[in-house]
Structure 1
Amino acid sequence: MTKTWDAVIIGGGAAGLFCAGVAGQLGKKVLVLDHAPVLGEKIRISGGGRCNFTNVHSSPANFLSLNPHFVKSALAKYSSTEFIKLVSTYGIAYHEKHQGQLFCDDSAKQIIEMLMSECAKGKVSIRNPVSVESIAQDATGWNVHTNAGIEKTKAVVMATGGLPVPAIGATAYSLDIAKQFGLEVVDPRPALVPLSFTADTFGNLNDLAGLSVPVRIASGSKGHRYGACRFNEDLLLTHKGLSGPAVLQASSYWVEGEPIHIDWLGAIEVEGGFNCDALFNDDDNRLKLAETILSSVLPQRLAKAFAEQRNLGGRKWAEVSKKDRQALKELLTNWSVKPAGTLGWKKAEVMLGGVDTKDLDGQTMMSRAHPGLFFIGECVDVTGHLGGHNFQWAWASGFVCAQAL
């Protein structure tokens, strides 16, 4: 007789393995299928090999979706606190970085080993590399056709992630299955990705590659698909354009053809008690060079570049008119620059878009039209901010799916 599984989970990444472990420990017969020879590669390379596995501040406000309320149920049922408890029970040492980001002290491989141990506790069967050729539904349930045979199951869970990092086998298979069964798909595009610029955009800033500066950055608008954002983060100047956490965050909201806005003094104004108006109106600065005044709050090379951009190089502050001071202040606090594009799927950390949440039940992650068909993790139109939020979505969506199974 052919064995019938309670669930076949397609995709052995963060969401798939976590869901499998939870469901298995709840007594379900679970099979995980993956086409990759090694599981968890995206976990292994994340966070510079240390895996930014969650964020202590993770909340619905940290996610982009056409329906921003969709994430609330899953995040409430499985918070970052719960995952931190699990990590602690395995004795995995971790540390907190910028704005609540948690990283392994040692290696991302510890998270993969933990997920595999959780699956072992639940007697989960894992088969890889296996290619899924088709999925069909009949009166008795679901049939998953693979290159190794047919698996019969009561439920199918799609957990194949998104399109970023094609070199490690990323595919759009979950989106193909969603379309096959009539679910809507929000057009995917790269997110948390560096932005590129035309050669003439930067002028003398091209010589500043490698400089990292805390900034306030704004992107998008209320009328766009995912609205607008404003972040205080570090910006990195590169030979290809702009990168660093600030730009990765802004990229998720950026719309082609529109500018992003950078306040080079905004982050230090918030964090360091710096007063921008005082800097530009201080009479004690009369005999100082313009670039010297700017270098009190910006890296020296950047201060010089901005002074030269307004033709203030070598000029004392007393020689700079109020009009020119105002123009310099506007340049520094509302620097508008139009990206040429993104660096694409190879450099993107996550996918924006995916299976439309209006076709899924937020309590269970199940298709409203096809009972027994679930979508979890990155393939859903839910994208987190930088800093561990996307992993938290993998854990939370996997958890509620496992409970529903």
Structure 2
Amino acid sequence: MSATVLKFGGSSFLHPEDYGRVARHIADRLAAGENKIVAVVSAMSGTTGNLKAVMLDVNKQASPSTLDAALATGEMLSACLLEAAISRLTISVTSLNGYSLGIRTDSSFGRASIESVDPTPIVAALQEHQVAIAAGAQAVDQSGSLTFLGRNSSDLTAIVIASMLGEHACEIYSDVPGVYTADPYLIPGAQLVPEIAYGTIEQMSRHGAKVLHYRAVEYAEKQAVTIVCKSLTRNGAVVGTIVTDHGDTRSVTVARDTAVVSCASFAERDDLRALLDRQDISSICLEEKDGASICITSDIDFAVRLVQLTGTRSISIGSRTVVTEIDSSGLRVHLQEDYERAISLARQIHERMYPGAVSEPLGSRKAKQRSPYSSLLIRGNNVGGNNA
């Protein structure tokens, strides 16, 4: 069945009225002649972090499966809100969550990997309705337990659904229209990239770029799904970047709060690096004055839990900010303890790459925003107290 697949990130839903804005965009698409639409949604910006904090306040040793079930509720609520907004426009709509999407994973709670897909539930939903809304970042394992695909992984859900339906393109909406040569909220002069190769944006994503999830990019390349990056403005949708087989660019990324694991020996560090490589987790080996250590730049929560489960005699687990230069010759990594110094370094590197570059304005916002409604599900204060 032919359907247009759209994914709306958490930055699309800063306020409850934003669900109406997205609903109107979907209604406009249908009115323009599109027959069926699948809308994949993220949780409101900031919700996942709030949910995790509350869970760990209740029980710091909460099981990974319990955490996955809790974190998935953010996307479930977002799907329900968008369904309500669309149905208000008298459009036939339904919503699906991880239990009913037809996506099966392994049981690696926290960052589950997809093992099989079945388009039947989504096709059935589209046969009955004009719009199907999918809660992103979630699926079920072979025993039927809810699994979480990882932080910011609703992109992956959208690409998987597009592939399941035989679609060759998927539209990803965020607060910026596409891929930039650096974070446009941090780096003056960041340049919008009209077209970029899967491998290039995957490298950027693994080292701090947030516009696309690296596992979504990998899946899209494998399944030949073109990614169209967009933003939804008051004047309609703006196309910024198309991700395809070709298109190279130089860029600089900033990854804040990466995990640095200090090991008791170089051999122990090498064993840890091998474990992370087997799990497709990006890491950098460091040789510092105080011994051997490794810096983890992707899937950090999941990776730290893996490290802890190995019983590795790590000296400590700290954090750094990583600035990475990416170009055709490879990667050059710079570690900084001070975040502001890291930003300053990234700006210097980008100025060297693109001297005198001037960026297009992104509006009045100076930084990525979290929704003031991100605690709509639950508040992190006074957990276990008397407040209802």
Q: TM-score, structure 2 length as denominator?
A: 0.24
Larger Rg: 1
Q: TM-score, structure 1 length as denominator?
A: 0.23
